[in-house]
């Protein structure tokens, strides 16, 4: 999990204030301050839309807002762990409960969870086998500082799955990576560690550095400057840089994900991993693969799927269904360093000839029981076949929406996990990902989706399909993201989505408030109208209310509804655009109503079928309609 966006000196920064916090990151800007990467939208547009979505978010969640306010009396930043505030560009939700692919907040809002708690909920919320195992184990005792039989089953299952001979356990992948670094140093007699730019392997000091102006600096405050003395950082997919880093012959460990997941989803180029393995062996450096995130992409992770041959491998997060557990596997040769100290350990205050590993709660009976259930009953080969199929449905839908909206974006996917970049081609390394990202736009997407019942991933990660997700969950995500991409696609083409025009559709009672202003003319050459479908006498004239259009009630499959503006005939003499919603079967789309007059701010309490005008004619002249883009309420 990545919790900061590193800044590089001398680079242009475009940031957007979202709910009092600043979403910073690497973007290229032109002299007018418009975002050159991303969707090509000017920053004022993104800020105005974010302000509208932010208000909707806050107003709709009074209990979460009150809980945060109350929590500031006893918890810094109003949360029990700082990431719960830091990871989001909006106030934190307070959760009531979860089940399967969804969870609910204190205000009763339901969310399709595409973040899956940064991969730790990949088994789904409250997976029945895990719940059962935890309850039974807790009733029989959860901690003894002695091995339980479940540990045998878990270690054997991991060995078969990932191909590593020996296993040890911690409470998190951070702690697993910490011990892997120590083991590598003992095994090689060296101290230096190599990682890739854009990495995140947990909050372990040996890897908490960034590179600026060619120098490795501490990534956070509270770290001593010398923490980076033994750290080298190189670009992903750059074997020449890896060779230069290893050439001095002083590197104990190269630690990497098989595909990077904390600066987007960066896939390795052809031959990269083969070259990495050859270089590390040639220079006497151990290779560790961190599968903490990527284990969701395949039954044996990408290491097994791609035939990688690491010396050590780390996992965590979802391997115990969200119950705290980390683990690391190693070859028999590497495991030889985990020997007991000569003469035993009898007193404190003296040095021991033993690798610094272990912790009181590591490999506790409760975590091992949860892991046994998760690995043997939930994270099965069949489950990964399903999640891979849904992951590709997700990616195909993302690409279709991006193409339809004419956005210069791209998508990477493998198995259940995907990521969309604000660039025509996926970047090869973290610098490329930073330079083409638009943090303000990404924060707006997360807020927009949250307001529509979809919990998007953190900005660094991308959406993930869990074992509990269904095709309907994927479609719900694609509906929401598609409505956003079509809206900003329209903004790029026509400029029709700026702050002082049709900025956001906010439900009020049973209606929709649309705000427009004079002067939002379409670009030269834009068609003046698009005819609605011919009336179908066989189609029932059914009134559409908000519940129908938001999916809370199932409409007839052939229903065509239009949200009419009560004051449409009162428009004044200038061309203006306003959004209105059309329901075509079960797919929501949006029309822009273009007329010769200007509408102010209007309440829309009623919905009338498209063919419900007098004599079956459209309620406004054909010249009044321009079906242009989509926006959801």
Whether 469 has a pLDDT exceeding 50, the answer reads: yes
With CA atoms as reference, report the closest residue to 294 among 318, 259, 319: 259
Categorize the per-residue pLDDT at 491 as very low, low, confident or very high, splitting at 50, 70 and 90: confident
CA-CA-CA-CA torsion sign (250, 260, 433, 16):
negative
Residue 506 pLDDT > 70, yes or no? no
For residue 40, being part of any structural domain is answered with yes
User: Do 190 and 273 belong together in one domain?
Assistant: yes
Residue 465's SS3 state is: coil
561: tokens are: 């509804």
pLDDT at 492: 73
**Residue 4 domain flag:** no
Chosen domain end from 444, 460, 491: 491
Are 162 and 283 contained in the same domain?
A: yes
pLDDT over 90, % of the chain:
64
Classify residue 633: in a domain, yes or no: no
* pLDDT, position 495: 55
Q: Report the CATH number that the domain containing residue 45 is assigned in CATH.
A: 3.90.1150.10
* Range from 215-224, 416-425, 582-591 carrying the lowest mean pLDDT: 582-591
Q: Read off the pTM.
A: 0.77
Among 324, 347, 378, the domain boundary falls at 378
Ranking 337-346, 413-422, 491-500, 547-556 by mean pLDDT, the lowest is 547-556
Interatomic CA distance for residues 505 and 511, integer angstroms:
10
Mean pLDDT over 313-338 rounds to: 97
Q: Which of 42-46, 153-157, 247-251 has the lowest mean pLDDT?
A: 42-46
Inside any domain, residue 386: yes
User: Bigger pLDDT: 256 or 625?
Assistant: 256
CA 509 centroid distance within chain: 32
Specify if 5 maps to a domain. no
Specify whether 198 is located in the same domain as 328. yes
163 phi and psi, to 5 degrees? 75, 15
Residue 462 backbone zone (phi > 0: left; psi -120 to 50: alpha; other: beta): left
**Does residue 544 share a domain with residue 453?**
no
What mean pLDDT comes out for the span 238-251?
Answer: 98
Residue 46: pLDDT band (50, 70, 90) is confident
Same domain for 442 and 571, yes or no, is: no
- The total number of structural domains in the chain stands at 3
Residues 422 and 537 in one domain: no
The residue-averaged pLDDT of 481-493 equals 84
- Domain with 173, as residue range(s), is 128-337+356-378
Find the mean pLDDT for residues 173-198: 98
As a whole number, the mean pLDDT across the chain is: 78
Tokens representing residue 298 in the block: 């395949």
Q: How many CB atoms neighbour CB 506 within 10 A?
A: 17
Q: What's residue 278's pLDDT?
A: 98
Q: What is the CATH number of the domain that holds 281?
A: 3.40.640.10
Q: Are 133 and 372 in contact (CB under 8 A)?
A: yes
Residue 583 pLDDT grade (very low, low, confident, very high; cuts 50, 70, 90): very low
Residue 350 covered by a domain: no
- Mean pLDDT of all residues in 101-122: 97
CA separation for the pair 463, 458 (Å, rounded): 8
> Does residue 191 form part of some domain?
yes
pLDDT category of residue 225 using cuts at 50, 70 and 90: confident
Q: In this structure, are 238 and 365 located in the same domain?
A: yes
Residues 306 and 254 in one domain: yes
pLDDT value of residue 254: 98
Is residue 118 one of the residues assigned to a domain? yes
DSSP letter string, 357-381: ---TTTT-HHHHHHHHHIIIIIS-H
Residues 298-315: pLDDT tens digits?
999 999 999 999 999 999
Percent over 70 (pLDDT), the chain: 71
Over 50: is that where the pLDDT of 335 sits? yes
CB–CB of 390/158 below 8 Å? no
Residue 437 and residue 443: Cα distance in Å, rounded? 11
Residue 163 and residue 300 in one domain: yes
Whether 80 has a pLDDT exceeding 80, the answer reads yes
Mean pLDDT of 564-569: 30
Residue 489: what pLDDT?
81
Instruction: Let me know: does 444 contact 49? Beta carbons within 8 Å.
Output: yes
| Residue 324 pLDDT class (50, 70, 90 cuts) | very high
Regarding whether 53 and 149 lie in a shared domain, the answer is no
Spell out the residues 6+ positions from residue 419 whose beta carbon is closer than 8 angstroms to its own: 264, 265, 411, 412, 413, 461, 462, 463
Last residue of a domain, one of 491, 524, 542: 491
143 and 97 in one domain?
no
Q: Which of 65-79, 434-448, 500-514 has the highest mean pLDDT?
A: 65-79
Do residue 483 and residue 546 come from a single domain? no
């Amino acid at each position: 999990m990545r919790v900061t966006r590193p800044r590089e000196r001398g680079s242009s920064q475009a940031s957007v204030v979202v709910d009092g916090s600043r979403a910073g990151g690497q973007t290229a800007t032109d002299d007018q301050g418009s975002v050159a990467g991303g969707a090509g939208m000017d920053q004022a547009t993104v800020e105005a839309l974010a302000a509208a979505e932010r208000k909707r978010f806050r107003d709709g969640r009074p209990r979460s807002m009150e809980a945060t306010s109350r929590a500031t009396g006893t918890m810094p930043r109003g949360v029990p762990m700082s990431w719960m505030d830091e990871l989001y560009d909006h106030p934190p939700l307070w959760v009531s409960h979860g089940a399967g692919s969804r969870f609910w907040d204190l205000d009763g809002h339901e969310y399709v969870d595409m973040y899956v708690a940064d991969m730790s909920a990949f088994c789904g919320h409250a997976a029945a086998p895990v719940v059962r195992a935890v309850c039974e184990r807790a009733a029989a005792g959860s901690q003894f500082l002695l091995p339980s039989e479940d540990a045998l089953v878990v270690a054997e299952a991991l060995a078969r799955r990932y191909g590593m001979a020996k296993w040890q356990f911690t409470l998190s992948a951070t702690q697993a990576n910490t011990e892997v670094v120590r083991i590598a140093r003992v095994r090689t007699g060296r101290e230096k560690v190599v990682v890739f730019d854009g990495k995140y392997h947990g909050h372990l000091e040996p890897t908490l550095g960034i590179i600026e102006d060619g120098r490795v600096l501490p990534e956070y405050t509270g770290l001593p400057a010398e923490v980076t003395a033994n750290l080298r950082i190189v670009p992903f997919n750059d074997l020449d840089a890896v060779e230069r880093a290893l050439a001095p012959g002083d590197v104990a460990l190269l630690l990497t994900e098989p595909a990077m997941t904390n600066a987007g989803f960066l896939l390795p180029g052809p031959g990269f991993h083969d070259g990495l393995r050859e270089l590390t062996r040639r220079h006497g450096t151990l290779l560790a693969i961190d599968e903490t995130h990527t284990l969701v992409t395949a039954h044996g992770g990408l290491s097994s799927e791609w035939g990688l041959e690491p010396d050590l491998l780390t996992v965590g997060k979802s391997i115990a269904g969200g119950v705290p557990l980390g683990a690391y596997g190693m070859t028999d040769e590497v495991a030889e360093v985990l020997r007991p100290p000569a003469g035993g350990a009898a007193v404190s205050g003296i040095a021991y000839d033993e690798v610094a590993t272990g912790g009181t709660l590591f490999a506790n009976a409760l975590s091992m029981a949860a892991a046994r259930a998760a690995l043997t009953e939930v994270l099965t080969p069949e489950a990964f076949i399903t999640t891979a199929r849904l992951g590709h449905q997700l990616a195909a839908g993302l690409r279709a929406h991006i193409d339809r909206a004419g956005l210069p974006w791209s998508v990477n996917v493998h198995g259940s996990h995907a990521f969309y970049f604000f660039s025509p081609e996926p970047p090869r390394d973290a610098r490329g990902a930073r330079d083409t990202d638009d943090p303000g736009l990404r924060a707006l997407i997360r807020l927009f989706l949250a307001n529509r019942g979809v919990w998007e991933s953190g900005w660094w990660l991308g959406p993930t399909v869990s074992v509990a997700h269904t095709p309907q969950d994927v479609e719900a995500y694609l509906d929401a993201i598609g409505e956003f991409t079509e809206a900003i696609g329209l903004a790029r083409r026509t400029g029709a989505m700026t702050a002082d025009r049709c900025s956001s559709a906010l439900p009020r009672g049973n209606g929709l408030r649309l705000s427009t202003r004079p002067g939002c003319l379409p670009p030269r050459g834009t068609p003046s109208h698009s005819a609605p479908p011919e009336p179908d006498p066989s189609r029932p004239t059914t009134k559409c209310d908000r519940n129908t259009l938001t999916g809370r009630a199932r409409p007839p499959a052939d229903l065509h509804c239009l949200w009419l503006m009560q004051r449409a005939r009162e428009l004044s003499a200038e061309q203006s655009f306003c959004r209105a919603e059309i329901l075509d079967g079960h797919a929501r789309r949006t029309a822009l109503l273009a007329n010769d007059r200007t509408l102010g701010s209007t309440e829309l309490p009623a919905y009338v079928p498209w063919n419900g005008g007098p004599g079956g004619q459209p309620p406004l002249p054909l010249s009044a309609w321009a079906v242009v883009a989509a926006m959801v309420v």
